[in-house]
Each structure stands twice: as C-alpha cells, then as structure tokens.
Chains A and B, each alone.
Chain A
Amino acid sequence: MSALVTQNLVKRFGGVTATDNVTLSVEPGELHAIIGPNGAGKSTLIGQLAGEIAPDSGSVALFGETVTALQVHQRAKRGLARTYQITQLAKDFTALDNVLLAVNARATHNFRFWRNAHDDSIAVDRALAALNTVGLSAQKNTPVATLAHGEQRQLEIAMALATEPKLLLLDEPLAGMSQGEATAMIALLKSLKGRYPMLLVEHDMDAVFSLADRVSVLVYGRIIATDLPANIRSNPEVRAAYLGDEVAA
C-alpha cells in the first residue's frame, strides 16, 4: 500500500492555479523528490498534504485512508510528520523541550497536570535519542533562539523523527544552509532513507539526484514528469522548463 497518494489535487488562489491536477504517490521506503522553479507551488502542495491548506478538489490518502477532510493534528496522529521551509520551532524552549513536545505528541493525550514533563524518563530518553540522531546532543539545553541556523534546521528534523512518523514530508531541509551544513544534512537524510517513506521538496539539484528514488517536476502547479532521476535529467521537456543550463553546463 502506498504511504501517500494524491488524486487530482487542485488549489486556486484567485486566478492563479497553484496546484493543477496533481496526482502523485510515495511508496513504502521510497524517497520521492519534488523539484520545480520558485513559485511552482511546492509549498502549497506540501500545505495541502499536511492539512494546513484545504484543496479546492481532489483527495489525499495516507496508507490507504482518505484524509482530505482531516485537520493537521489528525493527519499527524496518523503518522505524517513534516518539516518547514522556514523554521517553525518553539522559540522560547530549549532544544530538548522542542523535541520533548514532539515526543509527547505520540501519547494518546497529555491531560496530565501533576508530574513534571521532565520526570517522564521514557519520553526524555526518546527526545535525547532524536537529538542524538541529528547530532544535537551537546545543544540539548540551549534555547532555540540562540541555536545557529543549521542547528535549527537539524532540530526541525529531530522533531519530525521524535513523533515516530510513518511518512516524512521535508520542505526544503537544505534551505539557507552553508556548504558544510548541507553536506551533513544530506548525510543525515541518506541515513534515514529506507527507514521512512519520504517526500522531499528541494532546490539543491545535487542533493535531489543523489538522494531520490523518483523525481517529480512541478511547473506552474502541474507535474510535467515523474521518473527515475537519470531519466529526469535527460527528459527534454524538463530541461526546457527547468533544468536548462544547470544540467547542460
């Protein structure tokens, strides 16, 4: 069963069709990358998958269950975890508390009012493990506001992992990173590959072609091609629409 399937997803903003009849799938264990020029509608598409934006028509299914009408937190409970292109963290929390917030999202509920959240050693251990996975153990007690940009990006991933997801939506995880940070992030994504089905939206072509099992190309809200990375490189329509000089060079 596919981890994620969208059928004929359409979203219009006024006269602009931001998502134009998008049908795509993410198979178990697959890393499916979406590339496209700025304004192609990548973030709008991610928003509809996560439930932050309601599509005008079409459907979204997670693991065979239609979730089009479900809210953001309900989709998250079904195993969908996402990261944001523009970092979305609890800014006045420490790194550990951010991840602990994510770990606690796995609990059936958090209507527990008495014991300190830090005294839940199982949850704290899970949070520490997630920080360790992304290499942020040393910064666990650092307030998020004082973390470096690259570290905040890593924390984004740690939070998504801490919810023990069944599917990852990664919205430009390399955005704004230095070369060194990007290399580390790509290595991290490689290590996660296969453990989770992933939908990766990314600008960095080298990253996409080294990571992806399949690549879809989004142009003006429409998917113009979905194929293996090698075939995408040589697809003339894609080259005309997007890759252009970058590949030719």
Chain B
Amino acid sequence: MKLFPAAIDWRAPRTLVAVFVLITLLLLPLLMTGDSGSFYVKFITRVMIYALAAIGLNFILGFGGMVSLGHAMYVMLGAYAVAIPAQHGIVSGWAHLGIALVATAVLAAVIGAVALRTTGIAFIMITLAFAQMLFFGAVSLKDYGGDDGLTLAARSDFALFDLSSNGSLYYVTLFCVVLALYLSWRAVLSPFGLVLRGSKSNTRRAAALGHPVFRYQLVAYVASALACAVAGVLLANLTQFASPAYGAWTLSGELIVIVILGGLGTVFGPLIGAILLLSLEEILPMLVELTLPDYKSNWMLLLGAFIFIIALVLKRGVFGSLSASSATHRKGDKQ
C-alpha cells in the first residue's frame, strides 16, 4: 500500500513549505530550553491545538462548503470531558479521550442532523445558536465552576506516556496534528471526499446523480467535530483548565479566520493559518508596546488590517496562494 494518497511533487512551493514547517515543529523544542523556552513550547502547543481544531473545521468548511460558526462548542466539550471526570477522581487520559469522542459524536450527530436541513446563512445561524446554548449550559454548571471554569490538579494520565512535561504534551499534540493532516488528506481525495467536494461545488447536481448528499455532509460534520474535541482535550491539558470561554462564539469565528487565512480547501492551510494568526496575536501587542506604548490596547487594529490585506491580496489564503506544482503555469488544489 502506498504511504501517500497521491503522487507528491517534492519541488512544488506548497510541498516545500509544508515539509519545512513540519520539520521545524519537530525540532523546535530541542532548541528551546530554560524558562523562556518553556513559554514558547507551550505557546506553540497552543498554536498546534488551534490548528487541529481548524483542520477539523476546514474539512467541512473548505471541502464541504458548510460554514459552521459553532465549532468551538466541540473544543469546549473536549475540555470539559477532561475537567469534569478529573473533578470526580477519574484521571485516566484514555477515559477523558473516550468520553470526549463519544459525547461529541452523539452531540454532533444530533446538531448536524438538524442544522444540515438548512444551508447558507441559516446554517451559520443554527450552528451559532447551538454553540450559544452549550456555552450558557456550561456557564450554568455551578458544581463545575460555572462562569469561572474548572482547574485541573494534574494533566490526564495516559499510562504509556507522561503528559506532565510540556515537551511530551508538545509532541503528543504534534502527533495529533500530523495524524489529522494525513487523515484529512486521504479522506479529501477518497471517493467520500470526491462526493463531499462535489456536493460543495454543486449540491443539486450531486443529488441528481444519485448521491444522498445529506448523509455525506453529516458524516463529515461529525468527523470534523471529533477533531475539535481532541483539540479540546489537549487544550484542557495544556492550560490545566476548562471554562465556558473555550466555547465562546469568538473562538468559533477565530477558527474560521484561521482556515481562510491559511487557505480554504487546502489540507495544510489551517496549520499555516493558526501559526500566522496566533503569532500575530503575540507579536503585535509587543510591537505596539515598544513603539507606541499609549496605544497598546489598540493592537487589534493592526491585526484587522493584516487580515484585511491578506483577504484582499491573497484571495486563496497564504498557503492556498502557493503553487501546488513545480511547473509554474498550472495550479491545482491538492496537498
């Protein structure tokens, strides 16, 4: 069996960037030591967790044309699947992961089955509505910290490997990101992906050909939610904290921005988008503080301007604008 689902053009700009980013992520913790190193390792872990959630969202947004403005709810669900059992003395990471996956699969299947009756703006609104319901549901959990959230005494216990060090959590997260990239790459090119992309491109035609479009969309929606749930499990472990804020609609919006910034409908784009957006969110406030200390709180203006320029100049996102082929005249949409 072939390792990759498609032939790889190793000299294509997209491939070069993807390989460079992955190798850098692999080596980075080795270069970062000491206190500031630990800060950066945790920061990049967070970047990768966002990327994981965005890879999940991209699967339905970029390849299925479903604009979900509620995917943060699955991140929150994943985080609470760690924090709530931990509160009751269940510290097994496998239990946390299992609860997160099962709860998310069930919830996403129900929400998806309702939301997918609609398309376009109605779909955006209905996913947002469900996310808000879950958000306020979490706020009302007084036994579990309500608004303030829950603190974890320790990270999940995965027996085989120890997450207590930031380095191991980093590599576990990197593994999850690479796995998600690989699986979504395969799925996008598979017969399933063909139908999913076909129904994004022309739903009416896909149905007229005999494809039960709704079923494909629902399966894709659940799969995409599961990636977000794993991101939530990792996020709770990184911060040793879970709160309703993880399910805020602003985070759902941020995930959409990451996907679009990186390149809608490219497998690797969400990772680039997450690196860019979260790095800017770190760098810009520092930059503004150094140059114009009085305007420190207005750094978001710069971020907005940056996203504006990217949207204007690179219509296909940063990664999406790179050529997928080493021959200069053709552009594909894969990789």
| A interface residues (Cβ-Cβ under 8 A, vs B) | 50, 52, 71-73, 76-77, 81-82, 84, 88-93, 97-98, 100-102, 104-107, 110-118, 120, 159, 163
Top-8 shortest CB links A-B: A76-B210, A90-B201, A105-B210, A105-B209, A110-B191, A101-B198, A88-B205, A117-B194
Interchain CA distance A67-B155 in the complex, whole Å: 57
Closest residue of chain A to B185 (Cβ to Cβ) is A116
CB-defined contacts of B192 to chain A, threshold 8 Å: 110-113
Chain B interface (Cβ < 8 Å from any Cβ of A): 5-6, 183, 186-187, 189-195, 197-198, 201-202, 204-213, 216, 219, 333
B191–A112 CB distance below 8 A? yes
A77 touches B210 (CB 8 A): yes
Q: Are A91 and B211 within 8 A (Cβ)?
A: no
A93-B201, A110-B194 in contact; A116/B5 too (CB < 8 A)? yes
**Residues in chain A near residue B216, CB distance under 8 A:** 110
* Count of A-B contacts judged by CB separation below 8 Å: 103
Residues of chain A within 8 A (CB-CB) of B205 are 84, 88-90, 159
Enumerate 22 A-B pairs (CB-CB under 8 Å) in ascending A order. A52-B208, A71-B207, A73-B212, A73-B213, A76-B209, A77-B210, A89-B202, A91-B202, A92-B197, A92-B201, A97-B194, A100-B194, A105-B210, A110-B191, A110-B194, A111-B192, A112-B192, A113-B193, A115-B190, A116-B6, A117-B189, A117-B193
Chain B residue with Cβ nearest A165: B210
Contacts of A50 in B (CB 8 A): 208
- Chain A residues lying within 8 Å of B333, measured Cβ to Cβ, are 92
Of A82, A98, A101, which contacts B195 at CB under 8 A? A101
Give complex CA distance A92, B205 in Å. 13
Asked if A52 contacts B209 (CB within 8 A), the reply is no
Q: Which of A82, A98, A115, A116 has the most CB of B within 10 A?
A: A116
Most buried by A among B5, B190, B194, B216: B194
A103: nearest chain-B partner, CB-CB: B209
Which residue in A82, A104, A112, A120 is a CB contact (below 8 Å) of B208? Answer: A82
Q: Most chain-B CB neighbours within 10 Å: which of A77, A110, A118?
A: A110
Among residues of B, the one whose C-beta sits closest to the C-beta of A169 is B208
Tell me how far the C-beta of A154 lies from the nearest C-beta in chain B, rounded to whole angstroms. 15
**Contact in complex: B219, A111 (CB < 8 Å):** yes
Contact B191 A104 (CB under 8 A): yes
CB-CB under 8 A from B204, the residues of chain A are: 52, 88
- A102 (CB) vs chain B CBs: closest residue: B209
**A76–B198 contact, CB under 8 A?**
no
A92 to B196, CA, bound (A): 13
Q: How far is the CA of A75 from the CA of B208 in the complex (A)?
A: 8
**Is there contact, CB below 8 Å, between A76 and B207?**
yes
Residues of chain A lying within 8 A (CB to CB) of residue B213:
73
- CB within 8 Å for A117 and B209 given contacts A91-B201, A101-B198: no
Q: Would A73 and B210 be within 8 Å (CB), given that A110-B192, A110-B194 are in contact? A: yes
Contact between A73 and B211, CB atoms less than 8 A apart: yes
Residues of B contacting A159 with CB < 8 Å?
205, 209
* B residues less than 8 Å from A116 (CB atoms): 5-6, 186, 189-190
Residue of A nearest to B213 (CB): A73
- Is the Cβ of A72 less than 8 Å from the Cβ of B208? yes
Complex Cα spacing A104 to B210, Å: 9
In the assembled complex, which residues on chain B have CB atoms less than 8 Å from the CB atom of A101? Answer: 194-195, 198, 206, 209, 211
Q: Tell me, in angstroms, the Cα distance from A88 to B207 when the chains sit together.
A: 11
CA distance in complex: A115, B2 (Å): 9
Docked complex Cα distance between A114 and B3 (Å)? 11
With the chains together, A97 CA to B209 CA distance in Å? 13
Cβ of A90 and Cβ of B202 under 8 Å apart?
yes
Q: A110 CB to closest chain B CB, in angstroms? A: 4
